[in-house]
């Protein structure tokens, strides 16, 4: 079997890659390069010249060849490698007529625990969405910002005492509303300084959050380790890094209790499997990062099924707009007349907070015919939030 073509399919806010073979088997993958999907597409075009004519089943070799080819790293490059890698694993599953997870060692579980995305620009809206998740049967909620999901176009300012106390109060209100049958995965969106993060973790620890995600920007591993050493609430991080070496440096510093592996950014299924193994050696579980489309979800499911050290799987609502559009665009967003599930052939069903492990071969889904024409690509806008003093803040 040989690779005959590699095609790029931008659809709505997502970037897909299809790898074609002379046996008629086609693999599908997704790049998680966020706002830089056009750059990632060009990286795919560069790798395409290498891939044509190669055996698609030599996945590890192709991963190493692409990863080590130009001696440079970056989200656009790693997103391209991830999309191609997922597509190759999809081909392998179809070639051997098994779900891809069977080629990763088989099932470690029969069903996968998930958490549901919640959001709100006001406390009332946030609590209502948490209650909705409970009514839908979920036992964990995430992407849960105790600082609210305010529009990025609104200048920000809060005194320190107000920021800490009001965010803590929201966690209290949510905990009392949902009770102890619901885990709270608090998303801090990198918006704090190390000292603030330590103070906040102490303030909310009595409400027993599942974890605090990315309390500070992930660039400084020592800062994350400092917070982890002083926090009684577990720290989750890793979604914005994309090499096994970066994860090892965080893990060796005891900077995380949960590794947020971005399957569509950290090297695809191959890269994520490597990171999961390193995390397992450190006694750390993974929480696969998944704010993307149903194709990303299908790829995550393969890892979540196969590895032993899974804590929980992030699951955005595929019956609405993309999570990245809802959480990063301006308040002028127009609600679309379609759902993400409209441009794929399958989305998982959640029962009592769990996805039953699927049995479809490969990653188990495809795009609908002419998805790129039916749902034209739209470049993500650049929309960074500013402080009232005009400086840039993280959110």
Q: Write out the catalytic residue numbers.
A: 189, 289
How far is the C-alpha of 174 from the C-alpha of 169, rounded, in Å? 9
The secondary structure of residue 54, as a DSSP letter, is S
CA angle 134-311-248, nearest 5°? 140
Write out the two tokens for 201: 């973790």
CA angle 197-177-315, nearest 5°? 65
User: Per this entry, what is the length of the chain?
Assistant: 395
The secondary structure of residue 215, as a DSSP letter, is S
Give the residue among 143, 183, 139, 185 at the shortest CA–CA distance from 353.
Answer: 139
Residue partners of 67: CB distance under 8 A and separation at least 6 = 81, 267
First-last CA distance in the chain: 46
Contact 197, 182 (CB under 8 A): no
Would you state the torsion angle of the CA atoms of residues 174, 395, 391, 79, taken in this order, to the nearest 10 degrees?
A: 180
Give the residue among 115, 3, 127 at the shortest CA–CA distance from 54.
Answer: 3
How far is the C-alpha of 380 from the C-alpha of 339, rounded, in Å? 18
Tell me which H or E stretch contains 213. strand 211-213
Contact 239, 260 (CB under 8 A): yes
Residue partners of 313: CB distance under 8 A and separation at least 6 = 112, 113, 114, 115, 287, 288, 290, 300, 301, 304, 355
Q: To the nearest 5 percent, what fractions of the chain are helix, strand and coil? A: 40, 15, 40
DSSP letters, 333-374, are PPPPSS-GGGGBS----EETTEEEPP--SBTS--BPTTHHHH
């Amino acid at each position: 079997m040989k690779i005959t073509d590699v095609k790029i399919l931008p659809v709505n806010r997502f970037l897909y890659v299809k790898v074609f073979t002379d046996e008629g088997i086609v693999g599908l993958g997704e790049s998680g390069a966020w706002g830089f999907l056009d750059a990632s597409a060009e990286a795919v075009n560069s790798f395409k010249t290498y891939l044509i004519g190669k055996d698609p089943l030599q996945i590890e070799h192709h991963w190493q060849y692409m990863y080590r080819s130009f001696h440079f790293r970056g989200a656009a490059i790693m997103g391209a490698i991830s999309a191609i890698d997922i597509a190759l694993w999809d081909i392998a599953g179809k070639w051997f007529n098994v779900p891809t997870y069977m080629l990763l060692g088989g099932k470690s579980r029969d069903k996968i625990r998930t958490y549901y995305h919640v959001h709100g620009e006001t406390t009332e809206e946030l609590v209502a969405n948490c209650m909705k998740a409970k009514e839908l049967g979920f036992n964990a909620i995430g992407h849960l910002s105790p600082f609210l999901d305010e529009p990025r176009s609104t200048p920000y300012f809060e005194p320190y005492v107000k920021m800490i106390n009001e965010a803590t109060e929201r966690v209290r209100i949510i905990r009392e509303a949902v009770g102890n049958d619901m885990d709270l995965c608090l998303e801090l969106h990198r918006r704090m300084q190390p000292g603030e993060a330590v103070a906040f973790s102490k303030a909310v620890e009595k409400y027993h959050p599942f974890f605090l995600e990315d309390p500070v920007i992930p660039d400084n591993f020592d800062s994350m380790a400092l917070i982890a050493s002083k926090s009684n609430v577990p720290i989750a991080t890793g979604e914005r890094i994309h090499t096994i070496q970066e994860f090892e440096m965080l893990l060796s510093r005891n900077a995380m209790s949960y590794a947020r592996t971005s399957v569509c950014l950290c090297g695809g299924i191959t890269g994520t499997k490597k990171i999961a193994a390193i995390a397992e050696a450190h006694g750390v579980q993974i929480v696969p990062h998944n704010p993307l489309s149903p194709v990303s979800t299908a790829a995550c499911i393969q890892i979540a099924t196969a590895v032993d050290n899974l804590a929980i799987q992030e699951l955005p609502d595929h019956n609405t707009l993309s999570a990245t559009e809802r959480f990063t665009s301006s308040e002028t967003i127009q609600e679309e007349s379609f759902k993400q599930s409209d441009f794929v052939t399958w989305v998982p069903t959640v029962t009592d907070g769990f996805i039953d492990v699927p049995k479809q071969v490969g990653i188990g889904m495809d795009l609908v015919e002419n998805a790129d024409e039916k749902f034209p690509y739209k470049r993500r806008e650049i929309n960074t939030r500013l402080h009232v003093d005009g400086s840039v803040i993280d959110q």
